[in-house]
Amino acid sequence: MMPTASLDSHRVRARHAGAVLDGTVRYAPLPSLWLAAMLAGALAGALFAFSWTGVALFLVSTAIVLLFGHSLGSHRKLIHDSFQCPQWLAYLLVYLGVLVGLNGPLGLLRQHELRDYAQRLPDCHPYLRHGAGFWRDAWWQLHCRLHLAHPPHIAIEPRIAHDGFYRFLEATWMLQQLPWAVLCFAWGGWGLVCWGVCARVSAGVLGHWLIGYFAHNHGQMHFHVDGAAVQGRNIRLASLLTMGECWHNNHHAYPGSARLGLLPGEWDPGWWVLLLLRRLGLVSGLRLPHDLAPRPELRRLDVSPDQASSRPAR
């Protein structure tokens, strides 16, 4: 049996040596047509229905779903359970994460677990490590899916896998855009639908792939995970745009940490909001690097003199 590589509460197990190597990338009509439709709507809004109200709606709604939904809800809470909060708040954050337009919560969790498992092994398929070059990776990630010959078993915790609300969102994740499209149409017609739904989803899907590509191929490294096929990279200039998700080298080092920007000057809006929510009594149990189990395979790389003496922020 191949070793289990997950460090968090969800587990991936494989019984075949080529579990994350042997596979074929195939065109996937549903995600491809979904993105094409959103891009067409966004382009129509830009060309035929431009308005500053639409632009403001796009900026505000995109920031909300990326910060509260993708970063806090989908990633730091659902996937890594790096903080505790009331169930209603977890549901709200995960729902906002679905509005990014990437997938349902369970599908997103399975994708993340498979990638994490594969990237921590000595080698994995180029699809799973963004290793096929810029344009091919764009085609693969945005319009295709990897079909493994011997896929590993992904065991999601029953409290998540059997949760009725998460299962509902999984079955209806595309349809969750519809109520917001109706509200946008009632407010300002098709132009606001293009800006408030189509452009927002397009930015979320394309941005997720773009940051994922660069965060696995180009950027700064403070840490190295020995024996791993992939090393995360920090993309400093994208800290505000990604709500702190750009500190991917830090995340590879400490995946269970609620704080991603660990060193001085590493802005992390998601962490700032968690501190505010903790002050308001809405979140607790924020996990940080010193709360996680030691990793013998993790080593600190030489960095600039002012950073060399800095430990991960607490």
Tokens of 88: 């209603």
Q: What's the rounded mean pLDDT across residues 143-155?
A: 95
pLDDT tens digits, 258-307: 999 999 999 999 999 999 999 999 999 999 999 999 999 999 996 543 44
pLDDT of 104 strictly over 60: yes
pLDDT tens digits, 224-259: 999 999 999 999 999 999 999 999 999 999 999 999
pLDDT band of residue 30 (cuts 50, 70, 90) is very high
> Range with the lowest mean pLDDT among 9-18, 163-172, 184-193?
9-18
Q: What's the rounded mean pLDDT across residues 21-27?
A: 96
pLDDT of 220 strictly over 70: yes
What angle is formed at CA 65 by the lines to CA 48 and CA 49, rounded to 5 degrees? 5
pLDDT of 312 strictly over 80: no
pLDDT at 310: 41
Query: Mean of the per-residue pLDDT values for the chain?
Result: 92
Q: What's the rounded mean pLDDT across residues 22-45?
A: 97
Share of the chain above pLDDT 90, in %: 90
pTM listed for this prediction = 0.91
pLDDT band of residue 10 (cuts 50, 70, 90) is very low
pLDDT at 306: 43
pLDDT of 4 strictly over 70: no
pLDDT of 2 strictly over 90: no
